[in-house]
């Protein structure tokens, strides 16, 4: 069975090659052929020149993008490239910095029964970030399920069947939010427990700002449900506070209106025309194995 591991990277080549080395050392059975597709998000410094033998990996390709387009869109581009250009059964998108632990690839493979079965997601049961980040992440999950009705406990680290990849490349939301799009198109996903790893090198690049943007991008995929539930919340909240209305009690409404504005703008990122033509943004392809 042919497995493609999809890794977006921007200026973190040392981590990516360490990740590939760890994947190579997983001792995966011969039932699976592992290949690597790296999407280089227009990194502004050269990658490592050292050559290594990865005897347990079938092939390694680097798609060099013409311009920086962001993590989510690199994954979307990689999915489209694999679907249109590669022979595969499953795709495993994962971060290249070590926070998605390569050892858990074996958990995904253990769940695969045959080609084109259900897709698998890594649900976080333990995280490695500080307490503030963990609290914000739990708040993000609570807000998401409250205003969209969707429970999303997974990120990019998944194992997608060919059928799911086909749906993803035909869904405009994929150009905006990977996990939001996956939840939109697939109700039945097989969960496995996943522990967030520690970065190989340097601090995490997921800042507080990026966490908020990530959270609101997911919600924007379900904007119709969000707007309806927001309207109901406003009505109920006004009825609740009408006898004690003040600037302080109006603060939740103020933040909700800001969220509505931001989410409405983020939803404009769902540009199917750009998504369809994203392969034209590949400058060249390096076959390093």
Taking residues 183-197, what's their average pLDDT?
90
Helix (H, G, I), strand (E, B) or coil at 2: strand
Element spanning 65, H or E = strand 59-65
Q: What is the DSSP letter of 279?
A: G
CATH number of the domain bearing residue 86: 3.90.550
- Measured CA to CA, the distance from residue 79 to residue 85 in angstroms comes to 10
Number of other CB atoms surrounding residue 110 within 10 Å? 10
Q: Which of the four pLDDT bands, split at 50, 70 and 90, describes residue 288?
A: confident
Q: Which of the four pLDDT bands, split at 50, 70 and 90, describes residue 42?
A: very high
| pLDDT of residue 90 exceeding 80 | yes
pLDDT per position as a tens digit, 228-242: 999 999 999 999 888
With b for 16 or more beta-carbon neighbours within 10 A and e for fewer, the 256-282 pattern comes to eeebbebbeebbebbeeebbeebeebe
pLDDT per position as a tens digit, 211-230: 788 889 999 999 999 999 99
pLDDT per position as a tens digit, 100-155: 999 999 999 999 866 668 899 998 766 555 677 677 777 878 888 888 888 888 88
Look up residue 223 and give its two tokens. Answer: 């904007």
The domain tally of the chain equals 1
Look up residue 20 and give its two tokens. Answer: 């590939």
| pLDDT of residue 191 exceeding 60 | yes
- Measured CA to CA, the distance from residue 154 to residue 232 in angstroms comes to 28
Look up residue 281 and give its two tokens. Answer: 């943004």
Q: What range does the domain containing 251 cover?
A: 2-287
- Measured CA to CA, the distance from residue 59 to residue 4 in angstroms comes to 9
- Measured CA to CA, the distance from residue 219 to residue 144 in angstroms comes to 6
Look up residue 93 and give its two tokens. Answer: 């998108």
């Amino acid at each position: 069975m042919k497995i493609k591991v999809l890794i977006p990277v921007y200026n973190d080549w040392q981590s990516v090659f360490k990740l590939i080395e760890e994947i190579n050392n997983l001792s995966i059975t011969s039932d699976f052929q592992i290949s690597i597709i790296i999407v280089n998000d227009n990194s502004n410094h050269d990658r490592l020149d050292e050559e290594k033998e990865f005897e347990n990996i079938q092939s390694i390709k680097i798609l060099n993008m013409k311009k920086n387009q962001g993590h989510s869109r690199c994954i979307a581009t990689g999915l489209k490239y694999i679907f249109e250009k590669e022979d595969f059964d499953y795709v495993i998108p994962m971060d290249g910095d070590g926070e998605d632990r390569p050892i858990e690839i074996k958990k995904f493979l253990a769940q695969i029964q045959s080609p084109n079965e259900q897709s698998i997601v890594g649900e976080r049961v333990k995280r490695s970030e500080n307490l503030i980040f963990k609290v914000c992440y739990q708040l993000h999950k609570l807000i998401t399920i409250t205003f969209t009705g969707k429970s999303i406990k997974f990120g990019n680290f998944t194992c997608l069947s060919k059928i799911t990849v086909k749906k993803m490349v035909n869904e405009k939301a994929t150009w905006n939010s990977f996990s939001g799009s996956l939840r939109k198109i697939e109700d039945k996903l097989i969960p496995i427990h996943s522990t967030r790893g520690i970065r190989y090198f340097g601090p995490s690049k997921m800042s507080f700002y990026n966490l908020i943007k990530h959270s609101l991008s997911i919600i924007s995929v379900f904007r119709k449900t969000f707007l309806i539930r927001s309207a109901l919340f406003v009505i109920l909240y006004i009825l609740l506070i009408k006898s004690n209305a003040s600037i302080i009690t109006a603060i939740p409404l103020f933040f909700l209106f800001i969220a509505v504005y931001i989410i409405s703008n983020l939803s404009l990122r769902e540009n199917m025309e750009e998504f369809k033509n994203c392969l034209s943004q590949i400058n060249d392809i390096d076959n390093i194995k």
